[in-house]
Amino acid sequence: MTDRALQTLAVAFPSYLPRALTGDLELSLAEIAWTRAPRPARVSHLLNTVFDRISGQPVSLDRVRRLTSSAREWLLQRAALLFWTDKGWFQAQCRVCEQYFDLPLTLAAAPRKPAGETFPLVSVKTSLGLRRFEAPNGGHEEDLAFEQGDLPPERRLLALCGLAESAAADARAFSKADVTRIEAAFEAHCPDVADVVATRCPACQADIEARIDPLQFAFPRSQQLLRDVHMIASAYHWGEADILALPVARRRGYASLIRAEKGRGGGR
Ligand SMILES: [Zn+2]
């Protein structure tokens, strides 16, 4: 019985090069970040749109899907920092009372745990024999989000990450102790970046774990962008495509000049 080849890329916290920040890029990101598609699919499209290169390689959807989960989360935080000024706090939502509140934490300093020696390979002695798995990647996350099977999610993940030909059958046959042991091995060998903070909700005082999800607060919204386009088009009579092609900093510069001038003239 031969194991299938690893799909998960062997890089924990890859180097990255963003694309030029223009209105076109912001508009694409706004459309991706604020859709109702499952989160893993939005993350894949977002990374594929923001970055020109990851680990020195041209970016493609296939490659961002093969990145391990923590690498994707880490890159998502890097992408967020291109648009979000790290003020030392974030917006979090309480799972109990659903109120939004400000959570003190610096995105750029989120703690990281390095990968184990054999990453992205994880070998575990199970009751069915030695089994090898690959670290969960974006493709697995997307499959889990899209497909509803009769197995619980933790076993579906083992069916996806298992390298043995029998991975699907194994995922059903593993004992509870096997599942616990495999999860512990993933925990020990997979890299990690902090995306959960233990805190107390200021509104209802519940002790909660707040998930730091840059997708919920850091990326551009099309309304803000369209306001700039409208203002510049009205003032200078430039076309939409030309305005969207401007570097973001320059577009914002023009928009603030126009706002300042309107302010002096008493506004409209
Ligand atoms: Zn609350």
CB 134 within 8 A of CB 163: yes
Contact 105, 86 (CB under 8 A): no
Measured in Å, residue 223 CA sits from the centre of ligand 1 at: 29
For 61-72, the pLDDT digits (tens) are: 999 999 999 999
Q: Left, alpha or beta for 71 (phi > 0: left; psi -120 to 50: alpha)? A: alpha
How far, in Å, is the centroid of ligand 1 from the Cα of 121?
40
C-alpha 119 to ligand 1 mean position (Å): 38
Give the mean model confidence (pLDDT) for residues 68-81.
94
Beta bridge partners of 178: none
Mean pLDDT of the 4-25 span: 96
- Which tokens is 219 given? 């990326």
CA of 54 to the centre of ligand 1 (A): 38
Give per-residue pLDDT as tens, 136-159.
Answer: 999 999 999 987 778 999 999 999
Confidence of residue 267 (pLDDT cuts 50, 70, 90): very low
pTM of the model: 0.88
Under DSSP, the state recorded for 162 is B
Q: How far is the CA of 99 from the centre of ligand 1 (A)?
A: 6
**Element at 211 (helix H, strand E):** strand 207-211
Token pair recorded at residue 211: 């998930």
Distance 216 CA to ligand 1 centre (A): 17
Task: Give the CA distances from residue 152 to residues 123, 149, 182, in Å, rounded to whole numbers and listed in that order.
Answer: 22, 8, 15
What confidence category does residue 50 fall into, taking pLDDT thresholds of 50, 70 and 90? very high
- Mean pLDDT value across residues 218-230: 92
Most confident of 51-65, 80-94, 102-116: 51-65
Q: Which of 99-103, 131-135, 190-194 has the lowest mean pLDDT?
A: 99-103
Q: Report residue 268's pLDDT band, with 50, 70 and 90 as the boundaries.
A: very low
CA–CA distances in Å: residue 268 to residues 27, 42, 230, 264, 265: 27, 39, 14, 11, 8
Cα-to-centroid distance, 218 and ligand 1 (Å): 22
Query: CB neighbours of 251 closer than 8 A, spacing ≥ 6?
Result: 23, 228, 232, 243
Mean pLDDT estimate for the chain: 92
From ligand 1's centre to the CA of 199, what distance in Å?
10
The first and second tokens of residue 251, run together, are: 């577009």
> What CA–CA distance (Å, rounded) separates 161 from 175?
17
The arithmetic mean of pLDDT across residues 21-36, rounded, is 93
- Quote the pLDDT of residue 197: 79
Q: Which residues contact 203 (CB under 8 A, 6 or more apart)?
A: 94, 97, 99, 101
Smallest Cα–Cα separation from 157: which of 177, 186, 130? 186
**Distance from the CA of 220 to the center of ligand 1, in angstroms?**
27
75 C-alpha vs ligand 1 centroid, how far in Å? Answer: 29
Q: 214 C-alpha to center of ligand 1: Å?
A: 20
In this predicted structure, the answer to whether residue 262 has a pLDDT above a threshold of 90 is no
Residue 266 has pLDDT above 70, yes or no: no
d(CA 23, CA 36): 22
Stretch 107-127: mean pLDDT, rounded?
A: 90
Q: Is the pLDDT score of 85 beyond 80?
A: no
